[in-house]
């Protein structure tokens, strides 16, 4: 399995200075999503992304609307979008419905619009699991979402004919 370091090395030759990316961050569980946002932002700054936009939503479900709005924004003309959120299991099954709906909707939006959208949505059972994935022992999934998006963008320019 490749590490984040390996993924960084694979992108070393790409120039992202003309690239425009938005990060959409759910503010629900903002102690977690702030860490995810910072991780994604650190990666984008490392690669000297030309334009970085930040938008927030109330919760994870609202990522769908915000992403759709930005995908079809003819003024911004974004090259890609990173969606970040955190849904923690509670006493009901709400987490399953939200996680599935967000994932399915953003996957469909990606296919319909042919726009690169990276999803960094933590779907965890406990706050401890969320912390472990927002800069803890399992790394920072915001960084991973940013790297995944950059790999999509790099692949677009690296086609072999």
What are the catalytic residues? 94
Angstrom distance (rounded) from CA 75 to CA 97: 33
Angstrom distance (rounded) from CA 161 to CA 153: 17
* Element containing residue 6 per DSSP (H, E): helix 4-10
Helix axes 94-113 and 63-71, enclosed angle (nearest 10): 10
Q: DSSP code of 64?
A: H
Helices (H), the chain: 4-10, 30-46, 63-71, 94-113, 127-133, 141-156
**How much is the CA Rg of the chain, to the nearest whole Å?**
15
Angstrom distance (rounded) from CA 87 to CA 69: 22
The three-class DSSP label of residue 100 is helix
């Amino acid at each position: 399995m490749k590490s984040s370091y390996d993924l960084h090395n694979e992108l070393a030759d790409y120039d992202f200075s003309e690239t425009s990316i938005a990060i959409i961050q759910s503010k629900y569980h903002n102690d977690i999503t702030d860490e995810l946002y910072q991780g994604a932002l650190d990666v984008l700054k490392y690669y000297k992304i030309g334009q970085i936009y930040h938008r927030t939503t109330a919760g994870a479900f609202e990522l769908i609307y915000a992403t759709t709005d930005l995908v079809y924004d003819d003024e911004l003309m974004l090259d890609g979008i990173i969606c970040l959120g955190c849904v923690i299991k509670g006493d009901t099954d709400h987490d399953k419905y939200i996680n599935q709906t967000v994932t399915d909707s953003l996957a469909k939006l990606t296919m319909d619009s042919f726009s690169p959208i990276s999803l960094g949505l933590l779907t965890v059972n406990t706050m401890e699991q969320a912390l472990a994935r927002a800069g803890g022992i399992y790394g920072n999934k915001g960084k991973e979402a940013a790297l995944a998006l950059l790999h999509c963008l790099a692949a677009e320019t690296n086609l072999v004919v």
